[in-house]
Structure 1
Amino acid sequence: MLVVLCPQPDGSVSVRDVDRAQAGLPVVAEQTVSLDDLAGLVREREAECTPEGTSPDASLRWVWADTATTYRALLDAGVRVTRCWDLRLCRAILRASALTARTGYATAPRSAWDEAPTAATAAPDRLFDLAPPVTLDPLAELRDQHRALDAAVGLDGRPESARLWLLLAAESAGALIAAEMTVAGVPWDVVEHDRILTDLLGPRPALGYRPALLEAKAAQVSAALGVEVNLDSPVELLRSMRSAGLPATSTRSWELQQIDHPAIAPLLEYKKMSRLMTANGWHWLDTWVADGRFRPVYVPGGVVTGRWASDGGGALQLPHQIRSAVRSDPGWSLVVADAAQLEPRILAAMSGDAAMAEAGRAADMYEGMVATGAVETRQQAKFGMLGAMYGGTQGESGRMLPRITRAFPQALALVEAAARAGEQGEVVSTWLGRSSPLPSAEWRSAHSAASAEGGSAAEQEAVRTQARSWGRFTRNFVVQGTAAEWALCWMSLLRLRLRALSEGLTDGPHLAFFLHDEIMVHTPTGLADEVATLVQETAHEAGRLLFEGSPVEFRLTTAVVTAYSDAK
């Protein structure tokens, strides 16, 4: 059963039960409730239909415009839901997917449904400040989306609605997880964080001043250059370096490392210390950590490949320097799991390359490649695969690529085809149907002009360079995007299994952190071993869900720790 929440002009909400088993998604029941009564209704319906929260057939699926708005309000009211359909997230996928490109839904003009929620909508200041505006009809949008789903076909003309439906369900589940993780937060030890900063930067300074160790490092650089310089001004720093005779053309670290001068070592150390101060210093701590929890804002599908982004707090860029501050509560533990060589395993499963799948039976897939005789060392295997997936043709990646190609021809054929499509300005898609954007209009215009008119040699080379660059993007898109789909399925399955262990969001094991191919569960210590088993089981289940019958094994490195820094 689908339950659609439709905001009304008078501020109430029409709650419409829709039979998803029938054509046209007919409404079979309807009631109108006030915003104040909505939380209670949702709680009652969830309890009636999914007493244990794990049955996919008996579960409701709530349909709303924006999970970030509506579900956050429900969570604040102490209400959790099992499943949802996020209309805006699903719309973004369906409108861009090559599988639905021939439908009227994909070709229709943009509407308010295509606009991102405003800041006020995304962060409501009152209970159930529901999006979208009441002038939009969630039920009509849901029906349009299901018609587009039913019409989804692949390049060979075969129906592809099942894959695409799985993607939309996983994307919507990811939005629930993102909201829950923001509310639950990452357990954070403020005292430990302050100790780290003090050790690395010096004691907390007065507002507007540098910490003592950072100031001392700046003084070393100025002394070596023979002039007082503001290291936080790239323009002034570059001018001072040139005045001192250094052959610098920028202040980028990789270029500075090529210069032999007494100022360089302390300057590189200063830049590293300054990054820590700026990204995760005391101001960050005051802003983002409260009541022993770091609560970042996640953006599901925030990257074109389907990877998540962060809209505050830098959750997806937590440096190793501060990870010892991520600590479980007394009597609790952190179960940290990292998918081993996820993207190569994804490529093996997508391509059906039997030799690569065999290599993936090893706990370390790169060691498995060595065992097949494809390369001599693990490092060679890693560089060769990076070259295959990212289009590297230089250095060790380029040198190993021919050997990787001979050993795993089907896998390499898949990414090569994606690269060639990108070079021609064509769209490529992930396993479940998320499609890449087209290159810019300028790119397409230059490509067409060069093909039609010939152009000068320089113009032709510029076009080829642009084409190769876009081909590298599409080459990796299909792999990285499918890896993101696997991770969404993994987390979604794990979330349902964890819900069976506790009633509330944070009184039992719960997902606390996610970083592309790594998750963290905060759990009572007595349940840590059971949670670790669930983490492993759901990783394997996600692999079967996406790649039924594939021999590829999705391995994890799992650790039960009290501090994130102890997870290896």
Structure 2
Amino acid sequence: MRVHPRSHRGVRALTPSVALGREGDAVVAVSLDEGAVRERVADAADGRGLAAWVSQREARDRPRWVWSDTASWYPRLLEHGVRVERCDDLRLRHRILHHAVTSDAPAHPWDAAPLDAEPAAAPALFEVAPRADESALDDLAATVAEWRAQQELGARAIDPGRMRLLLAAESAGALVAAEMRAAGIPWDARRHDELLTAALGARRAGGLPVRMDEAAAQVREALGDPRASLDSPPKLLRALRSVGVFVDSTSKWELRQHDHPVVAPLLEYKRMARLLAANGWGWLDEWVHEGRFRPVYIPGGVVTGRWASSGGGALQIPRSLREAVRADPGWRIVSADVAQLEPRVLAAMARDERMARAAAGADLYEGVVASGAVSTRAEAKSAVLGAMYGATQGDAGRLVPRLRKVFPDAMELVDAAARTGEDGGVVRTWLGRTSPAPEEAWRQLQSEASGAEASAALVAGARRTARDRGRFTRNFIVQGSAAEWSLAWLADLRLRLTALGAVSEGEAAAASGPAFARRPHLAFFLHDEVLVHTPEAYAEDVATAIRAAADSAGRLLFGEFPIDFPLDVHIERSAAK
């Protein structure tokens, strides 16, 4: 695979790298390409002075900025309308390199979570490391030393070219995340209120919204208990069992297995309760100000490389509220999402030409049907997702073996990743991000189960945890590689939007801040979807840029392999679906 450090339309391939850091109360820069050429930039607290110096150097040299953490440095520049083209985010790069090249390395301050991230209590796929002392990482000497150490580690990667591309994409993603937070998602608070009122009923001080209260009353009537607690799962389960609805949980799937008058109003109540808790009026008051929702994005917050968020729930905006995402007057929302991104990435990784032919066009699942592997689109979707997530039971488990006959290369890739995981090994994404090694408790269980005196229960438990890990590694390579494609898409699109320039006439999107008030900019990203907020005059150009960036990302990662990444692109006043 060819790797181009700077391949975007005529940009010089070689540019200087400039490290920013602190020395005492001052911000100091050092040229990493010309020896220890130091320059005092500004007082550490002088954001305007820092922005002015960076702006001048960016215009003159267009360097690669090397800093400890984009989330710490870049917002200070954006606040004054200054953007940079590229950077090395050492914190993000460190975590990738040290897991990929020195997997047994002890914990280090550079492994810290980003600014604003909170320690996670979730399982492995969503784990974020604890924060470290930011001031220690901002020290200029520490920054330069870490950058040099990373240069050496990158050269030791299994494929240094792919690793360089991954590190550049991850750092570009950090710039995008900071810019999206600065610009915010254009949000119509009045429309949000109208949607909530329509869904939940009128808001009432000190009580439930009207429709939600009515649903609660219907549930209690069906339970024959006017005081039944609907928000305590243990109490609700006891109440359900008392009327003959024997369930182990209150999940939608379990409740729908029962024909009882309580089921329909209870499901409706639970739906409304989720909306009220996650994105109700309390959320609106806390997160939407001056026409913008500014969530906290965490690039690389998931071990596969997917993004996470630590504030506002940006990655879980319900479709019912998407209409509240509304462009400013004279502006438009250009939305785009990729059809079946992960299966397409799997076909390209495996070089499975038959699966690539099935993916040609808008709907990969219809292509799977046409291949003869299954009979219906629903079966195709179940089989493909089952292959990527390791399904062994139900319809998916029954259908997955058919894919092995029709798409043997793609299936062998994920099957091999699963075997590696079951054996305690690590797997890598297309560009080289490494899956976490199993914990010592897992290894101990596997060791004990292999002993001659191991009980049947111990052996069964070890096999179950091995299969669980195999399902994780099977999905890791696909989800992680799809995240890499998305980062390449974002990075290329960001440059194309910048190249469009700014409008000189028409209404400015003042709430988007000085860096974006007159130019098209990324406003939202979710795995395989982007929203761009753009002056109306640029809307068609933005749509073209989105498609071109997707094509470029496919070629950058997978060369000339014939795989399509079709987009569903819309230009609207809102992001409604």
Normalising by structure 1, what TM-score? 0.90
The alignment-based identity, stated in percent, is 53
Larger displacement relative to structure 2 (73-82 or 343-352): 73-82
Q: 1:298 to 1:324 in 2, by over 3 A?
A: same
Amino acid at match of 1:112: P
Cα distance between partner residues in 1 of 2:367 and 2:262? 45
Given that residues 389 and 415 in structure 1 are in contact (C-alpha distance below 8 angstroms), is that contact kept between their aligned partners in structure 2?
yes
- Find 2:76's aligned residue among 30, 49, 73: 73
Pair 1:30-2:38 in alignment: yes
Amino acid at match of 1:493: D
Amino acid at match of 2:473: T
Equivalent residue of 2:196, what SS?
Answer: helix
> 2:248 matched to which residue of 1?
249
Cα distance between partner residues in 1 of 2:484 and 2:316? 20
> 1:149 matched to which residue of 2?
154
Given that residues 116 and 296 in structure 2 are in contact (C-alpha distance below 8 angstroms), is that contact kept between their aligned partners in structure 1?
no
> Aligned ranges for residues 395-544 of structure 1 at < 5 Å?
395-453=394-452, 455-503=454-502, 504-544=515-555
Aligned pair count reads 531
Given that residues 454 and 460 in structure 1 are in contact (C-alpha distance below 8 angstroms), is that contact kept between their aligned partners in structure 2?
no
Instruction: Report the alpha carbon displacement of residue 135 of structure 1 after superposing the two structures with TM.
Output: 8.5
> 1:556 matched to which residue of 2?
567
Cα distance between partner residues in 1 of 2:576 and 2:117? 37
Cα RMSD of the aligned pairs, angstroms, is: 1.9
Cα distance between partner residues in 1 of 2:438 and 2:569? 39
Instruction: Report the alpha carbon displacement of residue 543 of structure 1 after superposing the two structures with TM.
Output: 0.6
Cα distance between partner residues in 1 of 2:169 and 2:461? 40
> Aligned ranges for residues 154-233 of structure 1 at < 5 Å?
160-206=159-205, 208-227=206-225, 228-233=227-232
Pair 1:84-2:125 in alignment: no
> 1:12 matched to which residue of 2?
26
Query: Which of the pair has the greater relative contact order for Cα pairs under 8 Å at 6+ separation?
Result: 2
Instruction: Report the alpha carbon displacement of residue 348 of structure 1 after superposing the two structures with TM.
Output: 0.7
> 2:122 matched to which residue of 1?
none
Q: 1:211 to 1:15 in 2, by over 3 A?
A: same
Cα distance between partner residues in 2 of 1:111 and 1:331? 49
Instruction: Report the alpha carbon displacement of residue 374 of structure 1 after superposing the two structures with TM.
Output: 2.8
> Aligned ranges for residues 4-403 of structure 1 at < 5 Å?
4-9=19-24, 11-19=25-33, 27=35, 29-34=37-42, 35=44, 36=46, 37-49=49-61, 59-97=62-100, 100-101=101-102, 107-116=104-113, 132-134=137-139, 137-153=142-158, 160-206=159-205, 208-227=206-225, 228-403=227-402
Cα distance between partner residues in 2 of 1:213 and 1:176? 43
Instruction: Report the alpha carbon displacement of residue 185 of structure 1 after superposing the two structures with TM.
Output: 0.9
Amino acid at match of 1:507: R
Cα distance between partner residues in 2 of 1:166 and 1:87? 14
Instruction: Report the alpha carbon displacement of residue 119 of structure 1 after superposing the two structures with TM.
Output: 5.0
Amino acid at match of 1:391: G
Instruction: Report the alpha carbon displacement of residue 48 of structure 1 after superposing the two structures with TM.
Output: 1.3
Q: 1:116 to 1:387 in 2, by over 3 A?
A: closer
Amino acid at match of 2:52: G
Q: 1:138 to 1:286 in 2, by over 3 A?
A: same
Equivalent residue of 1:27, what SS?
Answer: coil
Amino acid at match of 2:435: S
Cα distance between partner residues in 1 of 2:357 and 2:523? 34
Cα distance between partner residues in 1 of 2:118 and 2:478? 34
Q: 1:296 to 1:131 in 2, by over 3 A?
A: farther
Equivalent residue of 2:207, what SS?
Answer: coil
Deviation per residue, 1:306-358 (Å, 9 max, x gap): 00001111110111111111111122111111111111110111001111111
Cα distance between partner residues in 1 of 2:422 and 2:317? 35
Q: 1:196 to 1:167 in 2, by over 3 A?
A: same
Cα distance between partner residues in 2 of 1:498 and 1:397? 41
Instruction: Report the alpha carbon displacement of residue 293 of structure 1 after superposing the two structures with TM.
Output: 1.0
Equivalent residue of 1:513, what SS?
Answer: strand
Cα distance between partner residues in 1 of 2:391 and 2:271? 28
Instruction: Report the alpha carbon displacement of residue 131 of structure 1 after superposing the two structures with TM.
Output: 6.5
Instruction: Report the alpha carbon displacement of residue 28 of structure 1 after superposing the two structures with TM.
Output: 5.3
Normalising by structure 2, what TM-score? 0.89
Q: 1:210 to 1:347 in 2, by over 3 A?
A: same
Equivalent residue of 1:247, what SS?
Answer: coil
Instruction: Report the alpha carbon displacement of residue 454 of structure 1 after superposing the two structures with TM.
Output: 5.3
Q: 1:67 to 1:203 in 2, by over 3 A?
A: same
Instruction: Report the alpha carbon displacement of residue 419 of structure 1 after superposing the two structures with TM.
Output: 0.3
> 1:125 matched to which residue of 2?
none
- List alignment gaps of at least 5 residues for structure 1: 20-25, 50-58, 123-128, 154-159
Cα distance between partner residues in 1 of 2:496 and 2:136? 30
Instruction: Report the alpha carbon displacement of residue 515 of structure 1 after superposing the two structures with TM.
Output: 0.6
Equivalent residue of 1:31, what SS?
Answer: strand
Instruction: Report the alpha carbon displacement of residue 221 of structure 1 after superposing the two structures with TM.
Output: 0.8
Given that residues 65 and 131 in structure 1 are in contact (C-alpha distance below 8 angstroms), is that contact kept between their aligned partners in structure 2?
no
Instruction: Report the alpha carbon displacement of residue 287 of structure 1 after superposing the two structures with TM.
Output: 0.7
Cα distance between partner residues in 1 of 2:383 and 2:117? 47
Q: 1:130 to 1:62 in 2, by over 3 A?
A: farther
Cα distance between partner residues in 2 of 1:245 and 1:357? 51
Instruction: Report the alpha carbon displacement of residue 130 of structure 1 after superposing the two structures with TM.
Output: 6.3
Given that residues 65 and 86 in structure 2 are in contact (C-alpha distance below 8 angstroms), is that contact kept between their aligned partners in structure 1?
yes
Q: 1:67 to 1:400 in 2, by over 3 A?
A: same
Cα distance between partner residues in 2 of 1:451 and 1:113? 38
Equivalent residue of 2:247, what SS?
Answer: coil
Given that residues 241 and 247 in structure 2 are in contact (C-alpha distance below 8 angstroms), is that contact kept between their aligned partners in structure 1?
yes
Cα distance between partner residues in 1 of 2:373 and 2:541? 38
Q: 1:532 to 1:454 in 2, by over 3 A?
A: farther
Amino acid at match of 1:29: V
